[in-house]
């Protein structure tokens, strides 16, 4: 008996050591897939174990609904290959508080997250905001701060309280095959928010929210966005920039093969009309389809969404080297291309090539102010450079 028992144990040991990766199932650590019991402790226990070892390790979340209060997964870790494999749905608290993050990773190097659904349950906070009451900003569903070498693949994120995914102070982050949804009237539910980060890829993803599908703020560099469907939402935006003093610039951004459906904006750059410094340079927009988009191509250096007490200085953010190639489809307003640039820092080296944007199947218009650029191929509406 004792002999066969030790044999069995040895077999188990053998099979787990020959597996490519060890796995920790959060249910084995006490999590309950009942949608009610807080699984923060099991998640943090799994993280602590994964972070301690220097061997690749998978934290497995099986099918079911797991309630999770606010958690922070903190590095630095010994482990450069922690993987979350999620088959279930992770559910946020339904109410709201002043906390800025729901699930946050900080100082992590070498992390991948596969599949899974995050339900931010933003409804009650949106209702508070829409009623014009004073409400907190709300928590970002999934955020990465000061992290690197991160992959997010096949994740679904719904109904965040604030941003769905935020990347701050991080590098080499790949986001692919994600699906992000929130209603078009939900306030501040940006899909993917990038700031002070470099080497970011977003591809093969579908994003429909109440705010920007993707926003790239101060200090975002070396970004590639490819094959993204956006809508509803406010479009793919660089900015807003130039609100705070001395912001870092935005540089080397490539956005290709994107489809916008019913969005407020398509390809947008927005800065405040304040005399701060900053820049946007080296931006390639190519192969975009616009389906009933209010502002398909827009540079707005008088950005001021509230419309109250708007600053009226020339924006100090210099915009240069921005190209638009093969942008087609329909504008929902008569002005399909708008370049409203800074009087003190005109936009320069703006390139247009092969543009065909129509308004109600008729010729649309272009608007130019303080902009210099060149054109090639066919340009409809006719360029105003």
Ligand X SMILES: *[C@@H]1O[C@H](CO)[C@@H](O)[C@H](O)[C@H]1NC(C)=O
Q: What is the set of active-site residues?
A: 234
Q: Does 252 bind ligand X (CB under 6 A)?
A: yes
Tokens describing residue 29: 């650590």
Which value, to the nearest 10 degrees, does the dihedral of the CA atoms of residues 99, 104, 107, 112 take? -170
Among 53, 149, 153, 254, binds ligand X (CB under 6 A): 254
CB of 254 to ligand X, least distance (A): 6
Structural element, H or E, at residue 127: helix 123-130
Judged by beta carbon, residue 179 or residue 224, the one nearer ligand X is 224
CB 327 to ligand X: min, Å: 20
Query: Taking CB under 6 A as the rule, does residue 222 contact ligand X?
Result: yes
Strand partners, 91: 67, 119
For ligand X, the binding residues in 310-369 under the rule CB under 6 A are none
Angstrom CA distances, 333 to 105, 265, 357, 368, stand at 41, 11, 11, 16
How far is the C-alpha of 205 from the C-alpha of 180, rounded, in Å? 8
Choose which of 174, 224, 227, 358 interacts with ligand X (CB under 6 A).
224
> What is the closest distance, in whole angstroms, from the C-beta atom of residue 347 to ligand X in the complex?
21
Number of residues that bind ligand X (CB under 6 A): 5
What is the number of alpha carbons within 13 Å of residue 259 lying toward its C-beta? 7
| Strand, coil or helix: 332 | coil
Q: How far is the CB of 176 from ligand X (least distance, A)?
A: 14
Q: Yes or no: say if 182 and 209 are a contact pair by the CB < 8 Å rule.
A: yes
Q: Which stretch binds ligand X (CB under 6 A): 155-163, 175-183, 218-226, 369-377?
A: 218-226
Give 112 or 254: the residue with its C-beta nearer to ligand X: 254
Binding segment for ligand X (CB under 6 A), chosen from 49-57, 68-76, 219-227, 369-377, is 219-227
CB closer to ligand X, 223 vs 290: 223
**Which DSSP symbol is given to 20?**
S
| Residues 210, 137: Cα–Cα separation, whole Å | 14
Q: List contacts with ligand X (CB under 6 A).
A: 222-224, 252, 254
């Amino acid at each position: 008996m004792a002999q066969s028992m030790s044999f069995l144990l040895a077999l188990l040991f053998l099979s787990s050591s020959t597996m490519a990766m060890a796995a920790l199932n959060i249910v084995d650590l006490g999590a309950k897939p009942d949608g009610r019991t807080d699984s923060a402790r099991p998640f943090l226990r799994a993280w602590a174990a994964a972070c301690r070892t220097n061997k690749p390790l998978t934290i497995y979340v099986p099918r079911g609904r797991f309630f999770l209060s606010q958690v922070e997964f903190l590095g630095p870790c010994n482990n450069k290959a922690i993987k979350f494999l999620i088959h279930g749905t992770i559910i946020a608290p339904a109410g709201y508080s002043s906390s800025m993050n729901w699930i946050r990773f900080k100082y992590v190097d070498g992390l991948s997250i596969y599949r899974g659904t995050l339900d931010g349950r933003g409804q009650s906070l949106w209702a508070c905001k829409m009623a014009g009451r004073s409400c907190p900003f709300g928590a970002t569903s999934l955020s990465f701060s000061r992290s690197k070498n991160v992959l997010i693949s096949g994740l679904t994120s719904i109904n965040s309280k604030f941003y769905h995914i935020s990347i701050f102070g991080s590098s080499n982050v790949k986001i692919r095959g994600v699906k992000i949804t929130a209603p078009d009237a939900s306030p501040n539910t940006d899909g993917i928010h990038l700031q002070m980060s470099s080497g970011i890829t977003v591809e093969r993803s579908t994003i429909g929210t109440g705010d920007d599908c993707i926003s790239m703020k101060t200090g975002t560099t070396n970004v590639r966005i490819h094959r993204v469907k956006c809508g509803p939402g406010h479009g793919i935006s660089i900015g807003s920039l130039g609100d705070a003093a001395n912001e870092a610039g935005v540089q080397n951004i490539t956005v290709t093969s994107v489809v916008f459906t019913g969005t407020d904006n398509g390809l947008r750059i927005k800065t405040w009309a304040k005399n701060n410094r900053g820049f946007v340079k080296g931006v390639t927009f190519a192969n975009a389809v616009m389906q009933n988009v209010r502002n398909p191509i827009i540079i707005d250096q008088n950005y001021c969404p509230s419309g109250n007490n708007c600053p009226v200085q020339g924006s100090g953010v210099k915009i240069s080297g921005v190209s638009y190639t093969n942008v087609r489809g329909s504008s929902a307003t008569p002005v399909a291309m708008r370049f409203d640039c800074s009087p003190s820092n005109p936009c320069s080296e703006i390139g247009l090539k092969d543009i065909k944007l129509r308004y109600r199947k008729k010729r649309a218009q272009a608007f130019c102010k303080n902009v210099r650029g060149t054109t090639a191929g066919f340009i409809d509406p006719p360029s105003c450079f």
